[in-house]
Amino acid sequence: MNILKKIWQTLSTPSKAGVGIVLALGFTGGVVFWGGFNTALSLTNTEEFCTGCHEMADNVYQEYRETIHYSNRSGVRATCPDCHVPKDWTHKIIRKIAASKEVWGMLTGIIDTREKFQDHRKSMAMREWKRMKGNDSRECRNCHNFEYMDFSEQGSRSVKMHSSALASGEKTCIDCHKGIAHELPDMKGVEGWH
């Protein structure tokens, strides 16, 4: 009986009730918004979403379908977001906000034909390389962990490079493995290329 009285008192005092209701509403709202937001986030983190734009579907997606990350002996695939979108939350949000310029790019038709795509490829590729170089190829390492590479299973050329420049940290995956998922732009002037 005492408890009910207390609740009534609280509710009948405007300022206290205000705080309580705001908090309660805020809390449920937060849960709903948060859940919705994260659902939206994970919906935009699928290959179907990426290839929903013909700019992605007609160019990079077609090229990627011929590579080892699409089809291989073990049937494990790496999809677009696996390589392009960070896994942890903070980096993901930052990347997503940066990627909203792609919507603008679609509206303005910056790469809406194959020719335009090819002309624009080098600047896009260079931004991706810079990003991967900057985070020590974090997305590659989500799947490929240097610690667990079995050199006795790798080819002699792989072992030579992995046990030296990679092991010492002098170079990172993307320094040596450019163009593994898509066609390359003109590589004149890019380090390590003829």
Partner 1 sequence: MKKIMTALILMGMAASAVAQITEVPSNNGGVESLRGSAELNITRGADKHKRVIKDREPLQRNYVHQPPIIPHQVRGYKVNLNANKCLSCHGWKYARETGATKVSPTHFETRDGMTLSDVSPRRYFCMQCHVPQVDGKPLVGNDFKAVDSLTQN
Report what 187 binds from ligand HEC, partner 1, none; CB cut-off 5-8 Å by kind: partner 1
149 scored as a contact of partner 1 (CB under 8 A) = no
Of residues 136 and 186, the one with the C-beta less far from partner 1? 186
**Nearer to ligand HEC by C-beta: 14 or 75?**
75
From the CB of 108, what's the least distance to ligand HEC, in Å?
Answer: 8
From the list 3-11, 18-26, 88-96, 176-184, the region that binds partner 1 by CB under 8 A is 176-184
CB 132 within 8 A of CB 173: yes
User: Judged by CB, which is closer to ligand HEC: 17, or 162?
Assistant: 162
Q: Give, in order, the Cα–Cα distances in Å from 173 to each of 63, 96, 180, 186.
A: 20, 23, 11, 20
- Look at residues 131, 124, 95, 129 and name the one whose alpha carbon lies nearest to residue 110: 124
Applying CB under 8 A, which of residues 41, 53, 149, 161 lies at the interface with partner 1?
A: 161
Residue 78 burial by CB count (10 A; 0-12/13-18/19+): exposed, middle or buried?
buried
Answer yes or no whether residue 86 interacts with ligand HEC by CB under 6 A: no
Determine if 188 is a binding residue for ligand HEC (CB under 6 A): no
Read off the tokens for 26.
């805020």
Which residues, numbered 96-135, are part of the site for ligand HEC (CB under 6 A)? 101-103, 105-106, 110-111, 121, 124-125, 127-129
Q: Which of 97, 98, 125 is nearest to 111 (CA)?
A: 125
Q: Dmax of the chain from CA atoms?
A: 85
Supply the angle between the helices 89-99 and 101-108 in degrees, to the nearest 10: 20
Size of the site for ligand HEC (CB under 6 A): 68
Where along the sequence are the contacts to partner 1 (CB under 8 A)? 67-68, 155-158, 160-161, 179-180, 183-187, 192-194
